[in-house]
Amino acid sequence: MKFNDLARKAAKGPGPLSYGGSVNPEDLIRFSLAYGADGADEIERLCKQHGWHGDGLLEDGTRVAPLARWAVACIAYGRGGVAALQRLLTDRALATFAIAVLGEVRTEPCVTVLLDYCMSTTALSDEPDDPFWRAFGALNGLTSFDDGLVPPQEQQKKLRDLVIETFASATTPYQQTLCLCALRGAPVDGSLEWAEAQTVTDPGAMRAKSAAIKSLRRRLSGSYKPASAEQKRQIRRQRALDV
């Protein structure tokens, strides 16, 4: 997206411009990643100019994208990087937005921040939208796939321990499934044995267990080599085609 494109999208749309025009959260994230502090200034300007909403549910019952909160997270990253997003995690009203941006930045510091967050907080709800589960899901997205990040061994051990602890207190099939999926990002001692020992009855969790065991066996084999940059690009292209 070119620099002026965001302003054009913000100035047109089917509803009031306070709804964001034709801007969506992904636009703001990409803009922040592309233009840094300058992009943050532009996002802030547009947010103030059009009066974007911070609440996704208006008084009349209308649902809109809470672009003002997305703007806060994107402005924070543009001006202060991952460290600024980490500070937003202390605000429950902004945590899910910061987590979403961390998931798109896709660097090792993002994994560190998300791990530390998950290990220092607890879920207040079983809903997938709870910040804890959002952060846990972001860790899964960053590390468990073949085109993902490969954190240092110490981080992988922390992820393994987090998975085991979280699985022990899981109360829904979704939570069990997410734990087993996330374990793929921790191919270290004990992970495979733990996965093999778990008993699950939900079909989705059973599939996740099988996938985790298969992935861990492959990643722990002496012949395994992480995907190259070109292979990762090919994997992402294929995934986009499969959607």
* pLDDT value for 236: 73
Judged on CB neighbours under 10 Å (0-12, 13-18, 19+), 21 is: buried
pLDDT per residue as tens digits for the range 44-93 = 999 999 999 999 888 888 899 999 999 999 999 999 999 999 999 999 99
* pLDDT value for 213: 98
Instruction: Look up residue 14 and give its DSSP letter.
Output: S
> Residue type for 109, please?
P
Decide if pLDDT at 243 tops 60.
no
Decide if pLDDT at 19 tops 60.
yes
Measured CA angle at 88 (ends 136, 106), to 5 deg: 50
User: Mean pLDDT of all residues in the chain?
Assistant: 94
pLDDT per residue as tens digits for the range 198-210 = 999 999 999 999 9
Which residue is listed with tokens 């267990």?
Answer: 209
- Domain boundaries defined on the chain: 1-105, 107-219
pLDDT per residue as tens digits for the range 143-179 = 999 889 999 999 999 999 999 999 999 999 999 999 9
* pLDDT value for 101: 98
What are the distances in angstroms from CA 58 to CA 39, 188, 223?
A: 28, 48, 56
* pLDDT value for 43: 98
Q: Mean pLDDT, to the nearest integer, of 109-118?
A: 98
For residues 233 and 122, the model is more confident at: 122
* pLDDT value for 242: 67
For residues 234 and 109, the model is more confident at: 109
Task: Give the tokens for residue 204.
Answer: 């989705």
Decide if pLDDT at 240 tops 80.
no
Would you place residue 228 in the very low, low, confident or very high pLDDT band (cuts 50, 70, 90)? confident
pLDDT per residue as tens digits for the range 115-140 = 999 999 999 999 999 999 999 999 99
